[in-house]
């Protein structure tokens, strides 16, 4: 049903806008935004096909919401430091890695979140490629 599609789209826009203030990576933000923009286009096409000119006020509101989230995403992406890849040279823990790269043990959770291959944060194997923020 079209109204369910509009509701789902607006819910997705709100969710993305809220999530961007958290720990989403640039790639995750971009992927979510592309999915939402595609969904928005599908909803707009369906609205216009079903209601023609009568759909334009709602279509304009949807486009404005998508544009606002797109601008917010661009600002968040611009503010994030780039991701780098660090190769683990010898067996160590994520705490040791966080300390050696950032001198900040509070970044351990961030390192684990960015690397789904880390199954045991207390044991990183030599040769593992670990994604981390540059700063």
Euclidean distance between CA atoms 128 and 124, whole angstroms: 7
**6 vs 109, higher pLDDT:** 109
User: Quick one: pLDDT band at residue 3, thresholds 50, 70, 90?
Assistant: confident
In degrees and rounded to multiples of 5, residue 63 shows phi and psi of -60, -40
Q: Is the dihedral of CA 95, 99, 105, 111 positive or negative?
A: negative
Encoded tokens for 55: 């759909």
Length in residues, the chain: 135
Which two three-digit tokens encode residue 90? 């010898």
List, for residues 88-122, the tens digit of each pLDDT value. 999 999 999 999 999 999 999 889 988 888 999 99
Residue listed under structure tokens 């979510």:
32
Burial of 111 (0-12, 13-18, 19+ CB in 10 A): buried
CA 52 to chain CA centroid, nearest Å: 34
Contact 15, 33 (CB under 8 A): no
pLDDT at 15 over 90: no
d(C-alpha 44, C-alpha 64), whole Å:
12
pLDDT in tens, 47-93: 889 888 888 888 898 888 888 888 888 888 788 788 899 999 999 99
Q: What is residue 2's predicted lDDT score, i.e. its pLDDT?
A: 67
Structural tokens at position 124 = 């990183």
Tell me what pLDDT residue 99 has.
96
Residue 132 and residue 86 in contact, taking contact as beta carbons nearer than 8 Å: yes
């Amino acid at each position: 049903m079209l109204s369910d599609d509009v509701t789902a789209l607006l819910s997705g826009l709100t969710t993305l806008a809220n999530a961007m203030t958290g720990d989403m990576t640039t790639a995750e933000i971009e992927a979510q935004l592309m999915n939402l923009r595609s969904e928005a286009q599908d909803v707009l096409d369906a609205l216009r096909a079903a209601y023609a000119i009568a759909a334009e006020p709602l279509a304009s509101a949807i486009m404005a919401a998508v544009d606002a989230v797109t601008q917010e995403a661009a600002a968040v992406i611009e503010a994030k430091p780039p991701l780098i890849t660090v190769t683990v040279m010898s067996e160590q823990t994520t705490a040791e890695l966080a300390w050696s790269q950032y001198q900040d043990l509070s970044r351990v959770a961030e390192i684990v979140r960015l690397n789904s291959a880390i199954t045991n944060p207390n044991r990183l194997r030599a040769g593992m490629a670990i994604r981390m923020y540059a700063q």
